[in-house]
Amino acid sequence: MKVAIPSRDGRVDDHFGHCDYFSIFTVNDSKEVVAEEVLQSPQGCGCKSGVAVDLAKKGVQVMLAGNMGEGAKNVLQNNGIQVIRGCSGDVKTVLASWLAGNLRDSGISCTSHECH
């Protein structure tokens, strides 16, 4: 399974569409990270950038994110990527928390492109 996290300086970026890059982790059936890669973020709005298609082509199945609008969430989900919003902190700590079953989607979406 592959898990993506919108990132800036090794931390979850507060807003999906403004991140510097996506940290992508490959996790095996034993919930161990077996590979890590970076996908540079395209410029522009996350819901219109085409990044969801790029992430899906890389095999990403889960997005652990801070904040994002409904448009971005819908585009990711339409590309087969489960979205967990409300994440914050160091990307590896967030991933470990999700793997341990401790993260749930906050259910909160940004209502504007300036949401942080």
Query: What CATH number is given to the structural domain containing 18?
Result: 3.30.420.130
Percent of the chain surpassing pLDDT 70 = 86
Q: Which pLDDT value is given to residue 44?
A: 53
Residues 6+ apart with CB under 8 A from 102: none
Q: How many domains does the chain have?
A: 1
Residue 60 inside a domain? The answer is yes
DSSP state of 10: T
Among all chains, which residue has been given the structure tokens 């077996």? Answer: 34
**CB neighbours (10 Å) of residue 58?**
14
User: pLDDT, tens digit, for every residue of 17-52?
Assistant: 788 999 999 999 999 999 999 999 876 555 556 889
Phi, then psi, of 17 in degrees rounded to 5: -75, -5
Q: Residue 98 — very low, low, confident or very high, per pLDDT cuts 50/70/90?
A: very high
Q: Which pLDDT value is given to residue 48?
A: 56
Asked if residues 42 and 49 have their Cβ atoms less than 8 Å apart, the reply is: yes
Q: Residue 116 — very low, low, confident or very high, per pLDDT cuts 50/70/90?
A: very low
Residue 35 inside a domain? The answer is no
Residue 9 inside a domain? The answer is yes
Among all chains, which residue has been given the structure tokens 């994110």? Answer: 65
**CB neighbours (10 Å) of residue 74?**
15
In this structure, of 71-80, 81-90, 102-111, the range with the lowest mean pLDDT score is 102-111
Give the distance from CA 104 to its chain's centroid: 13
Residue 62 inside a domain? The answer is yes
Residue 7 is part of which domain span?
Answer: 2-23+42-90
**CB neighbours (10 Å) of residue 55?**
21
Asked if residues 90 and 9 have their Cβ atoms less than 8 Å apart, the reply is: no
What pTM was computed for the model? 0.88
R_g over Cα of the chain: 13
Residue 53 inside a domain? The answer is yes
